[in-house]
Structure 1
Amino acid sequence: MDSWKKKFAVIWSGQLFSILSSAIVQFAIVLWLSFETKSAEVLSFAMIAALLPQTLIGPFVGVFVDRWSRKRTMILADTFVAFCSAVLALLFYLDCVEIWHIYVLLAFRSVGSAFHNPAMEASVPLLAPESELLRVSGINQVIYSICNIAGPALGAVFMTSFDMTYVLMFDVAGALIACTSLLFVVIPNPGKKAEDEDRHVLREMKEGFNVVYRQPGLKWMMMLSIIVTFFLMPVATLFPLMTLNHFNGNAFEMSLVEVIWGVGMLLGGGILSVWKFKGRKTILINASYVVLGLTFLFSGVLPHSGFIYFVILTAIAGVSAPFFHGPFTSLLQIYIHSSYLGRVFSLLGSASMLPSMIGLAATGYIADTIGVANSFIISGAVITLVGLYSFFVKPIRLLEEGTRNL
């Protein structure tokens, strides 16, 4: 086995435990809040608490990710997340937990994730050869898909079998395993450029923005991905209502749709991880937009008796999703110098999460005024048009003929 593959095997083994344990705890917290409050508003606030800090501090975090040792950053971030889970476990053990405690600790966990995720993404091109970056992204998608499928199922089982104190300690154990695995791996830090000697946070944030702005192809891709996310997130939050209201489904059918989506993503990530794609990655990204948009559009026009077709379309959408994220991530890792990647990934994460906040806040209004099925139709049509338009944007077509590692 190649040296870089051994390093990734060690890192992925630890990250699998960490991501899975976080997925278990996250779903267990959602279930606990659902049973205790039976309030959609409480769940919305919990999701906002878990996402908003990453969105707000992301551009600042990227500056420090690029300054610091990326290995040390990941270890400290995982340790901080474990500490937050341990504090929440203690509150449950003392039987003094309040809803606001959960909001606050979810927000702190989000701060830890804001440092960990870009540090991990920015480390990949320092470890793997350029020709393997797309496959590495595919394997990452497989890991996340496995956790997205197994996390809710195990979270439900653990919550009904154990006290919440012990469920939360799974997250602590997962983080400790991830930190331990990183101790056995050497992650090189990118070479610093001459201008890095005179450091200033706002100036470095601007540099992260400018390095993307100077590459027209990447600039167009990021703008179009933000538009897609803006129309995707409201629909993503409406999947349960689509199953319940439009198709007159039940709890089993709701969970079936979630599992099918996860299985589709697992399959799509698996294809990317074994397929040595030689063509232009931008074609995969544009095509994934078109496929994803058409699945939403067709789902919205299905009759009330068409649930089985909704499941099939959801599976196709799940398969197509990694063909955007994986190639896009590898393109950033190829065309952006490693010393800027922390800032670029943080900036992209924040820009992508802002639509999530809007979609989450507007879900109820959209469902009541536009209608769930019409929301799928409108969002699907827009996403399809964006995908088709992307094929004709000259800077995107020329991207993979341009200068690398700006």
Structure 2
Amino acid sequence: MGNQKWFNTYIYIWAGQFVSMITSYAVQFASVIWLSLEYQSAEILAYAGIAGMLPQALIGPFAGVYIDRINRKRIMIASDTFIALCAIVLIFILKSETVNLIWMYILLGLRSVGNAFHSPALQALAPLIVPPKEMLRVAGINQLLHSICSIGGPALGTLAIAILPISDVLYLDLIGALLAISALMMVIIPDTVKKTSDRSISAEFLDGLHIVSKNQGLSSLFLFAMAITFVIMPSAIMFPLLTTGHYGGGKWEMGLIEIVWGGGMLIGGAVLGIYKIGISKVVLVNFMYILLGLTFLLSGVFPNEWFIGFILVTAIGGVSLSVFYACFTAIVQIAVKPEMLGRVFSLYYSLAVLPSIIGLLLTGLIAENSSVNSTFIISGCLAIAVGLLSFCSPTLMQLDK
């Protein structure tokens, strides 16, 4: 595809995914508000987090093989269709019966299955369209869109759950999926995927593992990214309880914190999308580990009357996560052949999330028996340690070169 056409094609994809993401963020945050206010339990939030991550983590590596075998546009359309059908079924179920936790866990689990195919397919799509020299800038713009959704989604979700029952909020998921499908139908995407393969699914899955393992720099990148996910993700799910429990907020304060977090991500994505950054992407990734850990540490250390300080460090945390993820994605997209990206991204997600589920259970127990802010202090200290260690890895520091 000619360079003069790639941006026009990508703009259609961005438009559809933007609407889909903002409605998805809204439904997800409305569900978290409902769970937080209804039960005030760290364990229930932990179980909800597991329901939303475990299916995607388990089937992700094998989903990645199919993503690399099949046209990625079709994969994304099929995933969005599945999510829309799940939303329709759950709308009728939740309208006809009393809302209970089982249905919420089912909702999160089914969305996770759809995302197991959709998210890596979207990430693996970019190298088929975008010139290599524009990859980091596009990754920054992607983070910019995610950030806008992180701001608008919680605001929309807070408003929706304030005036509607949870069953009616699910209509947003349906609308977003249908618009994303419509946008994808309007574009032509180059198909460099092999049409047929005589090799088994397990063999092609091992190919993805081999791609990462034989590149020592990429292996180190994955290792430290998995470590940061393990120490940060469990506490990140507890943000609503930190807001309501430690800082004494309500649904609007929870929404404000999510909007501020999204604002930070917006700034990080905007900087990467507008300016060409001369600093090594690996150095930026490592520094973001330390900065993210510091924000978590301070969020747990601040006294409960320092809500303004909590808002400020949350914004900085959003910036650091946005820069980390954009740089990480760009590094992988450049280092791995396009026909292998689906299984590599899926492999990373599974390897990162499966250990985090154990951490999530431990975090839930610590929060129930101690305090939520203590989990943030522990996570922050561990994240800072991961960041410092990452600078000591020669193979990782050479990866950008």
Question: Does the 8 Å contact 2:80/2:118 carry over to 1?
Answer: yes
Deviation of 1:139 after TM superposition, in Å, equals: 1.5
Change (3 A) 1:155 1:372: closer
**CA distance in 2: counterparts of 1:251 and 1:181, whole angstroms:** 33
**Which of 120, 123, 133 is the aligned partner of 1:121?**
123
**CA distance in 2: counterparts of 1:273 and 1:265, whole angstroms:** 12
**CA distance in 2: counterparts of 1:101 and 1:368, whole angstroms:** 23
Give the letter for the 2:325 counterpart.
H
Alignment partner of 1:276 is 2:264: no
SS of the equivalent of 1:340 reads helix
Q: Deviations over 1:201-241 (max 9, x none)?
A: 11111110110111111100110111111111232134344
SS of the equivalent of 2:190 reads coil
| Structure 2 counterparts to residues 65-214 of structure 1, below 5 A | 65-95=67-97, 99-162=101-164, 164-190=166-192, 192=194, 197-214=197-214
Deviation of 1:52 after TM superposition, in Å, equals: 1.2
SS of the equivalent of 2:187 reads coil
SS of the equivalent of 1:321 reads helix
Deviation of 1:351 after TM superposition, in Å, equals: 1.6
Give the equivalent residue in structure 1 for 2:323: 323
Deviation of 1:48 after TM superposition, in Å, equals: 2.2
Question: Does the 8 Å contact 2:36/2:241 carry over to 1?
Answer: no
Percent of pairs with identical residues: 46
**CA distance in 1: counterparts of 2:235 and 2:100, whole angstroms:** 31
Give the equivalent residue in structure 2 for 1:221: 221
**CA distance in 2: counterparts of 1:367 and 1:341, whole angstroms:** 37
**Alignment RMSD, CA only?**
2.5
Give the equivalent residue in structure 2 for 1:48: 50
Change (3 A) 1:7 1:201: same
Is 39-48 or 208-217 further displaced after alignment?
A: 39-48
Is 277-286 or 57-66 further displaced after alignment?
A: 277-286
Give the equivalent residue in structure 2 for 1:237: 237
Is 106-115 or 164-173 further displaced after alignment?
A: 164-173
Structure 2: unaligned runs, 5 residues or longer? none
Question: Does the 8 Å contact 2:36/2:240 carry over to 1?
Answer: no
Change (3 A) 1:58 1:272: same
Deviation of 1:31 after TM superposition, in Å, equals: 4.3
TM-score, reference length from structure 1? 0.90
**CA distance in 2: counterparts of 1:75 and 1:388, whole angstroms:** 41
Deviation of 1:158 after TM superposition, in Å, equals: 2.5
Change (3 A) 1:211 1:286: same
Change (3 A) 1:380 1:166: closer
Give the equivalent residue in structure 2 for 1:404: none
Question: Does the 8 Å contact 1:237/1:363 carry over to 2?
Answer: no
SS of the equivalent of 1:150 reads helix
Is 164-173 or 132-141 further displaced after alignment?
A: 164-173
Give the equivalent residue in structure 2 for 1:347: 347
Q: Deviations over 1:268-302 (max 9, x none)?
A: 11111112123321011011112112223344443
Change (3 A) 1:299 1:165: closer
Is 64-73 or 248-257 further displaced after alignment?
A: 248-257
**CA distance in 1: counterparts of 2:186 and 2:174, whole angstroms:** 19
Give the letter for the 2:110 counterpart.
F
Is 272-281 or 119-128 further displaced after alignment?
A: 272-281
Change (3 A) 1:35 1:311: closer
SS of the equivalent of 1:400 reads coil
Report how many residues are paired.
399
Give the equivalent residue in structure 1 for 2:257: 257
**CA distance in 1: counterparts of 2:326 and 2:225, whole angstroms:** 13
Alignment partner of 1:395 is 2:395: yes
**CA distance in 2: counterparts of 1:29 and 1:373, whole angstroms:** 22
**CA distance in 2: counterparts of 1:165 and 1:369, whole angstroms:** 33
Question: Does the 8 Å contact 1:59/1:347 carry over to 2?
Answer: yes
Change (3 A) 1:34 1:277: closer
**Which of 28, 31, 40 is the aligned partner of 1:29?**
31
**CA distance in 1: counterparts of 2:353 and 2:384, whole angstroms:** 21
Deviation of 1:42 after TM superposition, in Å, equals: 4.6
Give the letter for the 2:124 counterpart.
A
